[in-house]
Amino acid sequence: MDVQILTFIIVGLTFALYIGIAIWARAASTQDFYVAGGHVPPLANGMATAADWMSAASFISMAGLISFSGYDGSVYLMGWTGGYVLLALCLAPYLRKFGKFTVPDFIGDRYYSQTARTVAVICAIFVSFTYVAGQMRGVGVVFSRFLEVDITWGIIIGMGIVFFYAVLGGMKGITYTQVAQYCVLIFAFMVPAIFLSIMMTGSPIPQVGMGSTLADGSGQFLLDKLDGLSTELGFNAYTEGKKSTIDMFFITAALMVGTAGLPHVIVRFFTVPKVRDARKSAGWALIFIAILYTTAPAVAVFARVNMVDTINGPEAQGVAAAEAPEWVSNWETTGLVSWEDKNNDGRMFYSGDERNEMTIDRDIMVLATPEIAQLPGWVIALIAAGGVAAALSTAAGLLLVISTSISHDLLKRNLMPNITEKQELLFARIAAAVAVTVAGYLGINPPGFVAEVVAFAFGLAASSFFPAIIMGIFFKSMNREGAIAGMVTGILFTATYIVVFKGIFMEPLLPNTPEYWLLGISPEGIGTLGMLINVAVALTVWSFTKPAPAEVQAMVESIRYPEQLADTTEPPPAAH
């Protein structure tokens, strides 16, 4: 059967499944809309959390980044995985016991300040819109290649699906939809990985295959072959990095603390019945995340070797354009692969020096790998369904954060405290609908600085949310003056540094090279320094002002011991 027809069938079936779940799990109250009624089983919540965590960046981009960056790409594995562990151990159980719906809700109540709440709302909305725009764009790319529709129409279709189950079902609908999406995306990611591992090394376990010898009888290790190919073609050795140790450390830490502070993942731990269940669901989620994250480096290696071999040919002289592999022409139509015949010999050649004639977007690596390896058509269709599932699952979680921040934190807890639950639910659905529309617009018309804003968003979360939450839990006398001063200072420092080197809204003021960086720290890692500045400023201001009131310190003392409520079966309290 034709690949496009298979793709229509498989993607269509997954969409029907998502819509059916949304109808079944529609929200009837703010409890359902915000935290799925607080009755999601730990296993299901673990799968939903994993789907929420593993966005299009994890499914589509991460293996591509590692494939092109080699050893340096390990910062994404360490940072994103470490961030989840940090979240699970240091934040989730305590925030679940606190019983609020959102991060701004926690910060506003913990620091007894509407100003702190408003700063947190602004941060949450900015970070969420940054990510959701990328997710919608990812949906458009997948649709444009595999369903051969315009990117705009692909995004509109994705908007329609997300609109339906996010607005109708809220967190309840999103949770059970994400359970299904996790099953789709992990199956879609693992099947090609297993195929490739068997074909290239004879091992059915991709993680083992990556470190094994080739199945061609040469006795050569796969990574040794890739190192040789890389150096022969003018690239750095794949298993050697070129980033400095301090920059690797700061980028990894920024990714860890930035992702640990992402609000759309934190809210997942409010959906379970007990504090003990929050811990269990965190454990399950870590297992489910590890399946993909330990497989991604293997997929990156398999994809890199296959890509180089198919473009440059067995003699590494390049293939004639007329005989180019079909995947090249397929992806050329999307604009993500292009060829310039520099020496007019009619042959394509890929390298890391002046001989290079190919421009290949790293985001295609996972999506194109089944085609590059000439796997069966149903595997190619499956990878399309997985890419869409990954993008939609995270998009839905982010849109709910935006909706909740507006309806609950800004309106109910700040501007309109007397609205009824029914009115709050209506405002939440309206906010979700508006957020879907804005996200779709940003996906169709991405601003020129989207790539740079990703680094900005991580830095913003690292230098604002994370210190405020950690100090709010483990430093009971921290006051509102210190927390607000720390958040504002951390944000301003991080934003200024990134603008200077990335040029958001303007041309960069300084070259983005190590000799100009402060202490050798790149803009991607500066969020770590911003976090340290946040903490230093907060402690300094705290030392010159009154500590938090006694009742606030007592509240913090109570949430420091989650086991005290381990047997509580009541869901988090309703909005108040």
For the chain, which residues make up each domain, given as ranges? 3-308+374-565, 309-371
- Which whole-number Å values give the CA distances from 390 to 61, 158, 328, 408, 455, in the listed order? 11, 12, 24, 27, 20
- Residue 230 reports pLDDT greater than 50: yes
**DSSP at 37:** G
Query: How far apart (Å, rounded) are the C-alpha atoms in residues 303 and 368?
Result: 9
- Which whole number is the average pLDDT over 69-88? 82
338 confidence band (pLDDT: 50, 70, 90): confident
Structure token pair of residue 88? 């699970």
Query: How far apart (Å, rounded) are the C-alpha atoms in residues 264 and 396?
Result: 9
- Residue 564 reports pLDDT greater than 70: no
Helix (H) or strand (E) holding 339: strand 337-339
**Residue keyed to tokens 């000799």:** 515
CATH classification (class only), 3-308+374-565: mainly alpha
Query: How far apart (Å, rounded) are the C-alpha atoms in residues 202 and 486?
Result: 54
- Residue 567 reports pLDDT greater than 60: no
- Residue 101 reports pLDDT greater than 90: no
- 3-class DSSP state for residue 377? helix
pLDDT tens digits, one per residue of 383-418: 888 877 777 777 777 777 777 777 777 777 777 778
Neighbours of 507 (CB within 10 A): 5
Structure token pair of residue 401? 């954060």
Query: How far apart (Å, rounded) are the C-alpha atoms in residues 441 and 267?
Result: 26
CA proximity to 459, closest of 365, 525, 547: 525
Q: Say what the pLDDT of residue 545 is.
A: 94
The dihedral through the CA atoms of 266, 268, 271, 276 has a sign that is negative
Q: Say what the pLDDT of residue 540 is.
A: 97
pLDDT tens digits, one per residue of 236-265: 888 887 888 899 899 889 888 887 777 777
**Residue keyed to tokens 């903490």:** 535
Report percent pLDDT > 90 for the chain.
14
**Residue keyed to tokens 């002002």:** 545
Cβ contacts of 545 within 8 Å, gap of 6 or more: 479, 481, 482
**Residue keyed to tokens 């070129």:** 242
- Which whole number is the average pLDDT over 356-366? 82
Rounded to 5 degrees, what are φ and ψ at 409? -75, -40
Query: How far apart (Å, rounded) are the C-alpha atoms in residues 427 and 411?
Result: 9
Rounded to 5 degrees, what are φ and ψ at 213? -80, 160
Query: What end-to-end distance do the CA atoms of the chain give, in Å?
Result: 56
Rounded to 5 degrees, what are φ and ψ at 360? -125, 120
565 confidence band (pLDDT: 50, 70, 90): very low
Q: Say what the pLDDT of residue 32 is.
A: 60
The angle that helices 450-463 and 114-146 make with each other, rounded to 10 degrees, is: 150
Q: Say what the pLDDT of residue 477 is.
A: 93
The dihedral through the CA atoms of 403, 255, 68, 7 has a sign that is negative
**DSSP at 449:** T
| 269: Cα within 13 Å, side-chain hemisphere | 32
pLDDT tens digits, one per residue of 104-155: 888 888 898 888 888 888 877 777 777 777 677 777 777 776 666 777 787 8
Rounded to 5 degrees, what are φ and ψ at 271? -95, -5
Cβ proximity of 165 and 429 under 8 Å: no
- Residue 376 reports pLDDT greater than 60: yes
Q: Say what the pLDDT of residue 114 is.
A: 85
572 confidence band (pLDDT: 50, 70, 90): very low
446 confidence band (pLDDT: 50, 70, 90): low
- Which whole-number Å values give the CA distances from 433 to 94, 167, 264, in the listed order? 31, 6, 17
Cβ proximity of 546 and 395 under 8 Å: no
CA proximity to 576, closest of 469, 421, 431: 421
How does 13-27 read in b/e, with b if 16+ C-beta sit within 10 Å?
Answer: ebbebbbebbeebbb
Query: How far apart (Å, rounded) are the C-alpha atoms in residues 215 and 433?
Result: 52
Q: Say what the pLDDT of residue 547 is.
A: 92
C-alpha 345: how far from chain center? 42
Query: How far apart (Å, rounded) are the C-alpha atoms in residues 501 and 479?
Result: 34
Cβ proximity of 231 and 308 under 8 Å: no
- Residue 440 reports pLDDT greater than 90: no
**DSSP at 268:** G
Structure token pair of residue 482? 């210190």
Neighbours of 169 (CB within 10 A): 26
- Which whole number is the average pLDDT over 265-269? 74
Q: Report the chain's mean pLDDT, rounded to a whole number.
A: 80
Of 429 and 221, the one with more pLDDT: 221
Structure token pair of residue 525? 């890692």
pLDDT tens digits, one per residue of 488-537: 899 889 888 988 887 765 677 888 888 899 999 988 889 999 999 999 99
Q: Say what the pLDDT of residue 44 is.
A: 86
